[in-house]
Chain A
Amino acid sequence: MGVVLTVLGGLTAIGLGVSAVLGLIGLARTNVPKFVGMLAVAIVVVWVAIAVGDRGKLERLLDMLGTVFISVVVCIGIWVISNMVVSSAKRGWPMYAGIAGALFGALFFGIMRGTLSVLPIFAAQDPLYLFSGGGLLGHAEWPVIGAIVFGAGSYLTASIPQREVRLAAGVAMGAIAGALLAWKLKVWYYPSLDYVAGLIGAVVGAGLGGVIRLRNPIPTALIGAAIGFSYGAWGGGEWTGAGSGRWIGMIVPMVLLGLAIAWNGSRGPKAMAEFDNRARATVFLGPALLFLFGSLIVPAITTFLLSLRGRDSVDYVGFENYNELFTSDQSFDFSEWSALFTSRLFWIAFVLAVAAIVIGLVTNIRRNGEPGFERNPTTVGLLTVGAFILSMGALSVLRGTFFNNLWWVITVVTVATVAGLLIAVLADRSSVGENAAKTLIFMPMAISFVGASIVWRLQYQARPISKNQTGVLNAIWVGLGKMGTGELGLPGGLTFRPIGFVIFGLFLAAALFFVVTSKPRLDALAGPLILLFVAGFLFLKIGLGAETGSLRLFVIVFLVAIAAALAYTAVTRLQNGQAATAQSLMFGVVVFLAYRFLAGAIGGYTTSAQGEIVPDTVLFLTNTPFNNIFLMIILIWMQTGFAMVILSAAIKAVPQEFIEAARVDGATESQTFFNVTLPSILPTVGVVVTTMIVQVTKVYDIVKVAGQGGKFGNNVLANEMFEQSFSFGNRGLGSAVAVVMFLTVLPVMVYNIYNMQKGEV
Chain B
Amino acid sequence: MAAITAPQGGNGLGDRIYQRLADIPTWVLWMLVVVWTIPSFSLFVNSFRNRDAQRNDAFWNILNERDATVENYSDVLSAGSTNDLTDSIITSAAISVPATIIPIAFAAFAAYGFAWIDFKGRKWLFIATVSLLAIPLQVALIPLLRLYIGGAHLTLPFTDKTMTFLPDIDLAGDPAAVWLTHTGFAMPFAIFLLHNYISQLPKEVFESARIDGADHFTTFWRLVVPLSVPALASFAIFQFLWTWNDYLIANTMLDAQSSVPTTVRIANLAGDFDNTDHLLTAAAFVQAFVPLVVFFSMQRFFVRGLLAGSVKG
Contacts and interface: CB of A to CB of B under 8 A. Distances in A.
8 contacts: A25-B104, A64-B93, A120-B161, A121-B162, A446-B288, A450-B287, A453-B267, A637-B39
Interface in B293-307: 293-299, 301-303, 306-307
Given A121-B161, A450-B267, A75 B105 contact: yes
B123 A450 contact: no
Interface size on B, as a range, is 35 or more
Interface string B10-41: 00001101101111011011101100111110
A286 B281 CA distance: 45
B40 to A, nearest CB: 6
Contact of A443 (B21, B40, B42, B176): B40
A296 B40 contact: no
Nearest to B300: A31
A281 B150 contact: no
A49 B167 contact: no
A517 B89 contact: no
B129 interface: yes
B205 interface: no
Nearest to B180: A295
A642 interface: yes
B209 interface: no
Interface in B136-164: 136-144, 146-147, 150, 153, 155-156, 158-164
B233 A32 contact: yes
Contacts of B131: 753
Nearest to A293: B184
A649 B165 CA distance: 49
Contact of B36 (A49, A87, A441, A749): A441
Interface stretch (A36-44, A551-559, A604-612): A36-44
A29 interface: yes
B72 interface: no
A524 B22 CA distance: 10
Given A437-B29, A527-B1, A741 B136 contact: yes
Contact of B133 (A447, A688, A749): A749
Given A430-B23, A456-B39, A527-B1, A295 B162 contact: no
A688 B310 CA distance: 7
B167 to A, nearest CB: 6
Contact of B32 (A236, A441, A468, A697): A441
Contact of B287 (A448, A456, A757): A448
Interface string A524-557: 1011000000000000000000000000000000
A299 interface: yes
A339 B132 CA distance: 43
A718 B167 CA distance: 30
Most buried by A among B14, B104, B117: B117
B119 A278 contact: yes
Contacts of A761: 123, 126-127
A113 interface: no
A599 interface: no
Interface size on A, as a range, is 35 or more
A469 to B, nearest CB: 6
Given A284-B117, A450-B267, A705-B270, 12 more contacts: A68-B93, A68-B98, A284-B112, A284-B216, A299-B140, A439-B296, A441-B32, A454-B270, A470-B54, A472-B39, A694-B313, A705-B267
B43 interface: yes
Contact of A26 (B26, B112, B114, B225): B225
A431 B142 contact: no
A722 B248 CA distance: 9
B163 A117 contact: yes
A439 B216 contact: no
B107 interface: yes
B207 interface: no
Nearest to A732: B142
A120 B160 contact: yes
Contact of A742 (B1, B139, B252): B139
Interface stretch (A50-58, A147-155, A245-253, A343-351): A50-58
B109 to A, nearest CB: 5
A295 B144 contact: yes
Given A291-B184, A443-B40, A734-B142, A750 B134 contact: yes
Contacts, number: 462
Given A285-B110, A437-B33, A472-B38, A53 B79 contact: yes
Given A35-B297, A297-B132, A637-B39, A42 B160 contact: no
A162 interface: no
Contacts of A166: none
Contact of B232 (A25, A61, A426, A527): A25
A427 B33 CA distance: 11
Given A25-B225, A753-B311, A738 B86 contact: no
A735 interface: yes
A366 interface: no
Given A451-B266, A468-B57, A753-B311, A698 B42 contact: no
Contacts of A454: 43, 266, 270, 280-281, 283-284
Interface in A230-255: 231, 234-236
Interface in B155-187: 155-156, 158-165, 167-168, 175-176, 179-181, 183-185, 187
Interface in A437-469: 437, 439-451, 453-459, 468-469
Contacts of A444: 36, 40
A472 B90 contact: no
Contact of A446 (B125, B147, B291): B291
Interface in A457-508: 457-459, 468-472, 475
A295 B140 contact: yes
B119 to A, nearest CB: 4
A714 interface: no
In the complex, the 8 A-B pairs of residues with the closest C-beta atoms, listed nearest first: A295-B184, A54-B79, A448-B245, A284-B113, A235-B159, A117-B164, A299-B140, A288-B110
Contacts of B311: 691, 749, 752-753, 756
Given A125-B168, A287-B109, A642-B306, A518 B248 contact: no
B201 interface: no
B211 interface: no
A443 B56 CA distance: 29
Nearest to A306: B142
Most buried by A among B36, B78, B130, B225: B36
B125 to A, nearest CB: 8
B112 to A, nearest CB: 6
Given A35-B297, A688-B310, A738-B138, A280 B217 contact: yes
B94 A68 contact: yes
B105 A25 contact: yes
Nearest to A447: B288
A300 interface: yes
B2 A49 contact: no
Contacts of A75: 102, 105-106
A745 interface: yes
